[in-house]
């Protein structure tokens, strides 16, 4: 697979990464651990070297899973993980919402290193901006971890442009991770221009719209009781029915390009900027292979104009996340 650099940092990763969250949480019961270890190793064989996890996924078990999967090939992969929540280390329950106090960041980094079974975290993100801790203090804490050789690169997730600039002035930010796809365009007005100016890479999560852009979900689809899509405004049956037009059209483009709707959605992201690296997640080998195939789908300038023209006419129904979660983003 082709490689991309995350901004000016020198961190080179595969053009598509693999988001590991759904292997352990958010989309229903955790998948079989050994099957997921095999899937991660297969991804490496197929050219993926960029893997995304977080202490909050599970919590904790996703880092353990990824660490075990890549242990024999640690030098071939780039591991990204995250801090930023108060999570009880004994029960895994969130005890106090956000927490990016410097001493907490350092404690979480040490715990993540143990769970991942590694001596260095390649990319450490702040999972959500903590309004109670100046971003300069957060960047300073990660800078100390980098100076200590425990972290290589600093990242932010769902941060606003002004916050990114302030953090970058203390410790250069390698990558920003936020939701971005053909149906979630929030980063375009302010965040993406700031990243381009500062030389920071961008890592879109949910690049397939939590599965909706694959064309395999419709108004009649039901989700497991523990699946977060049950509480997502964009996944009510009414919203799904209203948003189906976008997926239908992606299917038409896909047919013309001898591809799938998912591949068109990913190829569209890859075509936006050379420093954008999407991290689609999956628990299925055939989906992994399908997603990786998107890197070989070439969208011409005319294709991109047609997609943009159609997408601009679609009013996507439903907020991308529940209101309580949205309040923690874009700070």
Q: Taking the CB of residue 27, how many other CB atoms lie within 10 A of it?
A: 21
Both tokens of 269, joined, read 């992201």
Tell me the pairing of strands 50-52 and 18-19.
parallel
- Class of residue 64 by CB neighbours under 10 A (exposed 0-12, middle 13-18, buried 19+): middle
The answer to whether 57 is a known catalytic residue is yes
> What's the per-residue H, E or C state across the chain?
CCEEECECCCCEEECCCEECHHHCCCECCCCCHHHHHHHHHHHHHCCCCEEECCCCCCCCHHHHHHHHHHHHHHHHCEEEEEECEEECCCCCCEEEEECCCHHHHHHHHHHHHHHHCCCCEEEEEECCCCCCCCHHHHHHHHHHHHHCCCEEEEEEECCCHHHHHHHHHHCCEEEEEEECECCECCCCCCHHHHHHHHCEEEEEECCCHHHHHHCCCCCCCCCCCCEHHHHCHHHCHHHHHHHHHHHHHHHHHHHHHCCCHHHHHHHHHHHHCCCECCCCECCCHHHHHHHHHHHHCCCCHHHHHHHHHHHHHCCCCCCCCCHHHHCCCCC
Angle, vertex CA 18, rays to CA 121 and CA 44, nearest 5: 85
Name the residue among 247, 236, 257 with its Cα closest to residue 304.
257
Positions marked active-site:
57
């Amino acid at each position: 697979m082709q490689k991309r650099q995350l901004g000016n940092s020198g961190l080179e990763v595969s053009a598509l990464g693999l988001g590991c969250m759904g292997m352990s949480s958010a989309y229903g019961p955790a998948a079989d651990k050994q099957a997921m270890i095999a899937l991660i190793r297969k991804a490496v064989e197929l050219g993926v070297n960029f893997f995304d996890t977080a202490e909050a996924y599970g919590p904790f078990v996703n880092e353990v899973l990824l660490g075990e999967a890549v242990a024999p090939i640690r030098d071939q992969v780039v591991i990204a993980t995250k801090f930023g929540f108060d999570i009880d280390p004994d029960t895994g329950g969130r005890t106090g919402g956000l927490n990016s106090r410097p001493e907490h960041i350092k404690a979480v980094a040490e715990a993540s290193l143990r769970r991942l079974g590694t001596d260095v975290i390649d990319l450490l993100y702040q999972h959500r901006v903590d309004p109670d801790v100046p971003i300069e203090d957060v960047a300073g804490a990660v800078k100390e971890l980098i100076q200590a050789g425990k972290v290589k690169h600093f990242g932010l997730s769902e941060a606003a442009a002004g916050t990114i600039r302030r953090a970058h002035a203390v410790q250069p930010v390698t990558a920003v991770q936020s939701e971005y796809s053909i149906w979630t365009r929030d980063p375009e007005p302010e965040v993406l221009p700031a990243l381009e100016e500062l030389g920071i890479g961008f890592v879109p999560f949910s690049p397939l719209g939590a599965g909706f852009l694959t064309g395999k979900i419709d108004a009649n689809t039901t989700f497991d009781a523990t699946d977060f899509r049950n509480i997502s405004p964009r996944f009510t049956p009414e919203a799904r029915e209203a948003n189906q037009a976008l997926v239908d059209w992606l299917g038409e483009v896909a047919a013309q390009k001898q591809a799938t709707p998912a591949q068109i959605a990913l190829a569209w992201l890859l075509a936006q900027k050379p420093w954008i690296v999407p991290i689609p997640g999956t628990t299925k080998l055939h989906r992994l292979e399908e997603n990786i195939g998107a890197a070989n789908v070439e969208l011409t300038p005319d294709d991109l104009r047609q997609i943009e023209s159609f997408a601009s006419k679609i009013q996507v129904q439903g907020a991308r996340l529940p209101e309580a979660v949205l309040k923690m983003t874009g700070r």
